[in-house]
Amino acid sequence: MKIVADPNVPYIHEAFASLGDVTLVPGRQLTAAHVSDADLLLVRSVTPVNAALLDDSRVRFVATATIGFDHVDVAYLAARGIGFATAAGSNANSVAEYIIATLFELAHRKNFRLRDKTLGVIGVGNVGTKVVHYARAIGIRVLTNDPPRQRTENLSDFVSLDRLIAEADILTLHVPLTKTGPDATFHLLEPCHGIVINSSRGAVLDNRCLLAAKLDGLVLDVWENEPHILPELLAKSDLGTPHIAGYSFDGKVNGTRLIYEAACRHLGVAATWQPVLPAPLVPRLKITVMPGEDDEDVLRRIIRQVYDITGDDARLRADYRRFDKLRAEYPVRREFFNTELELHHVTTTLREKLTALGFRLAGVR
């Protein structure tokens, strides 16, 4: 069996070698010729999967190692009887930690306290749910909007998009990209105030309209027409990153594991591969809380030592034309749960916040 895969999926060869012969082809370079004699196709979000790619192939199973799948013509796959799987939820925690790191960095730069702000979360799926949990745990007031869930679950704490936009100081978007139907998200809103964070899909916001918007702050991890982003929009952004919010090493490996297990189910074979991750870069931190030091300052200090989001921003600004290279060569980032904290002079409230964010506490004095 021939398997064609994007090399940017970690451990892809190790995971799938037992199932067949693995051929690695960079996602943006993948053509119909590459997959004509393939049985399995494994991609990321940069590869459009449609009739043009697969019509003359023998591909019977496609998996994307991403949570979103707007790059895949799912109806076409179903009509052809081609199996399909995503890595839904695999990097949700990675994106949520990106948002938390962003919030603390913005609060530091703009000299405000997060506890004084209201966060509006648009889209409360795998990612949005974690963002809500973390934000509330660190003391931010949160409003949520998710029309599909509201219709099916009738949850009392969801609010209208109009109310959320009016009341929230900070908006963060966690929706799929859809262009039709009652909940289409293409160019979903034209923000005109507050702070806006987008780590979902670039086209959820009209990037040219963002250039003219009078915002209090802007953070973009996703951009229209990637990898060809607008340099003037990067210049306007407080933080700009090359679509890496979900690129924690833990999240990416989760994605590989999920599509491997899905492929095994499709083929009717036992899943035997288990990833072995390297030791974390920051396995332990010793943190002393200074007298009178605000919890938010301590949290930012800890988070920045584990994940310094300003490094991602600096690399993109240094050469935004290397957008894809920055993704392919992204440094290893581990999630908070990999780091154990030894804390001195910590309050019970701060300890609870750190635990809620996933950090392990080795000792508290």
Using CA atoms, how far residue 271 sits from 12, 39, 192, 265, in Å, is 14, 18, 49, 8
Q: 2, 20 in Cβ contact below 8 A?
A: yes
**99 domain residue, yes or no:** yes
DSSP state of 314: H
Choosing from 71, 243, 257, 333, the catalytic residue is 243
Q: Are residues 236 and 359 in the same domain?
A: no
243 assigned to active site: yes
| Lookup: tokens for 62 | 């496609």
Q: Are residues 97 and 235 in the same domain?
A: yes
Choosing from 174, 201, 327, 333, the catalytic residue is 201
- pLDDT over 70 at 21, yes or no: yes
- pLDDT over 70 at 188, yes or no: yes
Q: Are residues 15 and 38 in the same domain?
A: yes
**272 domain residue, yes or no:** no
* Cα 48 from Cα 28, distance rounded (Å): 9
Using 50, 70 and 90 to split pLDDT, how confident is the model at 363? low
- pLDDT at residue 190, as a whole number: 85
Average pLDDT, the chain: 95
Using 50, 70 and 90 to split pLDDT, how confident is the model at 157? confident
* Cα 230 from Cα 119, distance rounded (Å): 27
Q: 222, 243 in Cβ contact below 8 A?
A: yes
Residue 195 has phi, psi (to 5 degrees) of: -105, 135
**What is the average per-residue pLDDT within 103-115?**
98
**What is the average per-residue pLDDT within 193-202?**
96
Choosing from 13, 149, 193, 226, the catalytic residue is 226
Q: Are residues 257 and 311 in the same domain?
A: no
- Looking at per-residue confidence, does 156 or 19 come out higher? 19
261 assigned to active site: no
- pLDDT at residue 359, as a whole number: 97
Q: Are residues 236 and 107 in the same domain?
A: yes
Q: How many domains does the chain have?
A: 3
Whole-structure pTM value: 0.92
* Cα 135 from Cα 353, distance rounded (Å): 10
* 23, burial (CB in 10 Å: exposed 0-12, middle 13-18, buried 19+): middle
- pLDDT over 60 at 176, yes or no: yes
201 assigned to active site: yes
Q: Are residues 153 and 221 in the same domain?
A: yes
Q: Are residues 229 and 262 in the same domain?
A: no
**278 domain residue, yes or no:** no
Q: Are residues 136 and 188 in the same domain?
A: yes
Q: Are residues 14 and 102 in the same domain?
A: no
| Residue-wise pLDDT tens digits, 2-11 | 999 999 999 9
Using CA atoms, how far residue 75 sits from 36, 201, 271, in Å, is 20, 21, 28
Query: How does strand 2-5 pair with strand 21-24?
Result: parallel
- Residue 6 CB neighbour total at 10 angstroms: 23
**351 domain residue, yes or no:** yes
The CATH number covering residue 81 comes to 3.40.50.720
Q: 277, 348 in Cβ contact below 8 A?
A: no
- pLDDT at residue 155, as a whole number: 76
Q: Domain range spanning residue 38?
A: 2-86+248-267
Q: Are residues 179 and 208 in the same domain?
A: yes
**276 domain residue, yes or no:** no
- pLDDT at residue 192, as a whole number: 77
**104 domain residue, yes or no:** yes
**What is the average per-residue pLDDT within 321-338?**
96
313: which residues sit within 8 A by CB, 6+ positions away? 239, 240, 241
What counts of helices (H) and strands (E) characterise the chain?
15, 14
**317 domain residue, yes or no:** yes
* Cα 306 from Cα 339, distance rounded (Å): 8
The CATH number covering residue 314 comes to 3.30.1370.170
202 CA to centre of own chain:
12
- DSSP codes, 32-84: HHHHTT-SEEEE-TTS-BSHHHHTTS---EEEESSS--TTB-HHHHHHHT-EE
Using 50, 70 and 90 to split pLDDT, how confident is the model at 283? very high
| Residue-wise pLDDT tens digits, 47-86 | 999 999 999 999 999 999 998 899 999 999 999 999 999 9
**What is the average per-residue pLDDT within 209-224?**
96
Using 50, 70 and 90 to split pLDDT, how confident is the model at 364? low
**49 domain residue, yes or no:** yes
* Cα 167 from Cα 186, distance rounded (Å): 23
Q: Are residues 222 and 135 in the same domain?
A: yes
Share of the chain above pLDDT 90, in %: 94
**What is the average per-residue pLDDT within 26-46?**
96
Report the chain's terminal Cα–Cα distance, integer Å.
58
- pLDDT at residue 293, as a whole number: 95
Q: Are residues 9 and 141 in the same domain?
A: no
